[in-house]
Amino acid sequence: MTLRFALLGDPVRHSISPAMHRAAFDVLALDAEYTARRTAPDEVGPIMRSADLAGGNVTLPHKLRAARALARPSAAVRATGACNCWWRRPDGELAGDNTDVGGLRTALSRFGFRPRGARVLLLGAGGAARAAVHGLLEGGASSVEVLNRTPARARALRDRALAHATDADRAADAVRVVAAPHAGATYDLVLNSTSLGLSSGDPLPLELVRNAVGARFGAAFDMVYAAGETAWVRHARVLGIRAVGGLDMLVGQAALSLERWFPGRAAPFEVMREAAVAELRSRPEPEPADGSSAA
């Protein structure tokens, strides 16, 4: 029997997830289908519960709603309040995970960056930033300074991280809300989780040399992804800062999703990555400004 998986989001027209999953199903000879479904908010729970789907992914703007539909949320879903991957267990209950957390871990590891003991500047405080804070704390980062256009949202992110951290005291020391990079500081990593860079006319999320306070950066990670370099990755590399875009994180979250749906199978990361790059290269238009490319 063919197993059916779906991506729920709105919009989903520009998603590259179907290309990645179909390539993986082919190479693993899995009898499975993956489709993208444009989904209204009140359809999310009913579609996740429908018997014709074995599981799927969730993207903007439904990740929080999907988390609430789960009977068996993972620790990452509980910590972030967001679910991007769900499946039906043999007992019929809906289980789900936030594989953006593991996807970032995979991408940082491929980048050769170890979070343990690292001082990190995190730009942004949206859904992707929740996954980043949780993953960085679990990975042992010594500090995560959150810089966001809307400071109240950064404070809410910190409160949530503290409420769900495995070591609340350490998290309280590590996660700080900042209005600018610390004067004269050296950060091991600066991580862009804002949506700046999705549109070609966007300003850089942070100017890495002429920032007002003279902070320095060992490495830069841009969650925005492209077939080649993103504008911010190019900016960093020109300055001699090691930098990488979000493509491996995107492929990583997809690979982990597949491994949740088919326990015991190893996702073919390189095959999925090639499919993602081919799909991105085939796009005639620049990225839309509304974040619709996520997942």
Ligand X SMILES: NC(=O)c1ccc[n+]([C@@H]2O[C@H](COP(=O)([O-])OP(=O)(O)OC[C@H]3O[C@@H](n4cnc5c(N)ncnc54)[C@H](OP(=O)(O)O)[C@@H]3O)[C@@H](O)[C@H]2O)c1
Using CB under 6 A as the binding rule, the residues of this chain from 128 to 187 that contact ligand X are: 128-129, 148-150, 153
The burial class, CB within 10 Å (0-12 / 13-18 / 19+), for 92 is: exposed
State the nearest-atom distance from the C-beta of 5 to ligand X, in Å. Answer: 18
Instruction: Assess 77 for contact with ligand X (CB under 6 A).
Output: no
Which of 3, 83 has the CB closer to ligand X? Answer: 83
Instruction: Assess 126 for contact with ligand X (CB under 6 A).
Output: yes
**201, two tokens:** 């006319």
The burial class, CB within 10 Å (0-12 / 13-18 / 19+), for 186 is: exposed
| Contact stretch for ligand X (CB under 6 A) within 18-26, 66-74, 127-135, 137-145 | 127-135
User: For the window 186-215, what string marks contact with ligand X as x by the rule CB under 6 A?
Assistant: -------xxxx-x-----------------
- Is residue 98 a contact partner of residue 168, using CB atoms and an 8 Å limit? no
State the nearest-atom distance from the C-beta of 141 to ligand X, in Å. Answer: 18
Instruction: Assess 127 for contact with ligand X (CB under 6 A).
Output: yes
Examine residue 61 and say whether the peptide bond preceding it is cis (omega within 30 degrees of 0). yes
**131, two tokens:** 């996954």
Active-site position among 21, 62, 63, 88: 63
Which of 3, 67 has the CB closer to ligand X? Answer: 67
Which of 117, 228 has the CB closer to ligand X? Answer: 228
Which of 53, 255 has the CB closer to ligand X? Answer: 255
User: For the window 215-234, what string marks contact with ligand X as x by the rule CB under 6 A?
Assistant: --------xxx---------
User: Catalytic annotation on 63?
Assistant: yes
State the nearest-atom distance from the C-beta of 264 to ligand X, in Å. Answer: 24
Q: Which amino acid is at 283?
A: R
State the nearest-atom distance from the C-beta of 254 to ligand X, in Å. Answer: 8
Q: Which residues pair with 186 in a beta bridge?
A: 216
| Contact stretch for ligand X (CB under 6 A) within 87-95, 139-147, 166-174, 247-255 | 247-255
Size of the site for ligand X (CB under 6 A): 28
End-to-end CA distance of the chain: 27
CA 71-76-81 angle, to 5 degrees, is 70
Strands (DSSP E) contained in the chain are 3-9, 32-38, 55-58, 72-73, 85-88, 94-97, 119-123, 143-147, 175-177, 186-187, 189-192, 216-217, 219-222, 242-244
What is the torsion angle, in degrees rounded to the nearest 10, for the CA atoms of residue 124, residue 129, residue 135 and residue 138?
70
- Which residues are known to be catalytic? 63
* Binding stretches for ligand X (CB under 6 A): 60, 100, 103, 124-129, 148-150, 153, 193-196, 198, 223-225, 246, 249-250, 253, 291, 293-294
